[in-house]
Amino acid sequence: MAISKANAADILIMKPKSVEYLIKKTRLVTVNVSGREMVTEESLFKEIGERYRRLGNALEVKSSSGNICRCGCGEETNEGKRFKSGHDQALEGIIRYFLLSGKK
């Protein structure tokens, strides 16, 4: 089954432009349904699952973990940095998703 990109944006609590970005990065998959580009439910569920995984990883990263990005991606940062470039905003978006969606 597939849902509209606008509905996907509502579910993910993001702007439609951000959904387009996730499609471009192949994190969301689309199919053509009666001439409309729709997001597959499977890819939407995978994106939500990825958010849970990253938040869990971020909560486990300790300040003594050296140069590991605190967003939960597990990537190495530059010396003295807590986040890779832009990853602090990614974590902020994930946290916002859980706060605004009422998830625990």
The DSSP string of 66-78 is -SB-TTTT-PBPP
Burial of 1 (0-12, 13-18, 19+ CB in 10 A): exposed
Residue 101, pLDDT above cutoff 80: no
Q: How far apart are CA 19 and CA 83, in angstroms?
A: 23
Determine the pLDDT at residue 38.
97
Average pLDDT of span 97-103? 75
Average pLDDT of span 23-49? 95
Q: Which domains does the chain have, with CATH numbers?
A: 2-101 (1.10.1660)
Per-residue model confidence as pLDDT tens digits over 44-99: 999 999 988 888 888 887 766 678 888 888 888 888 888 889 888 888 888 888 88
Is pTM, for the whole model, over 0.85?
Answer: no
